[in-house]
Amino acid sequence: MRLDKYLCEAGLGTRTQVKKLLKSGVVAVNGRTVFRPEQKLSETDRVEVSGKEISVSEFEYWMLNKPDGYVSATEDRTFPTVLELLPEGARGDLFPVGRLDRDTEGLLLLTNDGKLAHFLLSPRRHVDKVYYARIRGEITEAHVKAFEEGLDIGDEKRTLPAVLEILPKSREKDAGASEWESRESEDCTPEAEPEIRVTLREGRYHQVKRMFEAVGCRVMYLKRLSMGSLRLDETLAPGEARPLTEEEVKALKEETGC
């Protein structure tokens, strides 16, 4: 690996910032000051900055509170991507685990750990994904039962059983109310939109929206609250991200068997 790339992945800044750091003479490899960003490193090389040893973790894990308007992709020609919301110190090989629609908000995990991502997204693992939504249309106990039995949303197979909860009008905080915003339309006010929480164990294309369309309703607002053991940190404002804690990473690996 090039020295400048190593320093970037260690969280010491962008390529431009790292080059300035090297010019200042504070970077040493195996005890010798190094100025060239292109210098190659081996696995046994010891890198120090201002006398402090620097190391790079093999994997990184970030929690993002995804806002409306961003696509869950590493690149896009039309819309901004979720990677643009990460701080400059984040690794350049991160990718979103699964996709949230451009207008969907909430929890999104970004990592370079392909094995963990595969296990979290595998239909055979049945990792719970919990969403909060506001719905246009009447939601009844009949809909709750229909979700439990699985729905025909136009795919080859019906959806797996899902848990649909009709939330009280108080808009409990843990149901996503902290991000609740007033949105009016020509014939429907937010007060008339039932609030629900739904738990899925698979992740098909536009699945939540298609499930409600299958029962004659429409999703007006959608936010993911959790994925497996990982719950959205409500102290993160939309568009903010933070590294996962050691406890959060450990819990994800334990439940997926990674």
In three-state secondary structure terms, 146 is helix
45 is catalytic: no
Q: Which amino acid is at 127?
A: V
Residues 153 and 159 sit within 8 Å (Cβ to Cβ): yes
Torsion angle in degrees (nearest 10) through CA of 227, 233, 239, 245? -80
Strand order in the sheet with 47-49: 32-33, 27-29, 47-49, 52-54
φ/ψ bin of 209: left (φ > 0), alpha (ψ from -120 to 50), beta (otherwise): alpha
Task: Outline where 11-68 has alpha helix (H).
Answer: 15-23
Which residue of the set 101, 103, 128, 233 is catalytic? Answer: 101
Query: How many other CB atoms are there within 10 angstroms of residue 194's CB atom?
Result: 18
Report the distance separating Cα 113 and Cα 92, nearest Å. 13
The candidate with the shortest Cα–Cα distance to 238, out of 65, 35, 78, is 65
Residue 241: half-sphere exposure toward Cβ, Cα within 13 Å: 23
* Residues labelled catalytic: 101
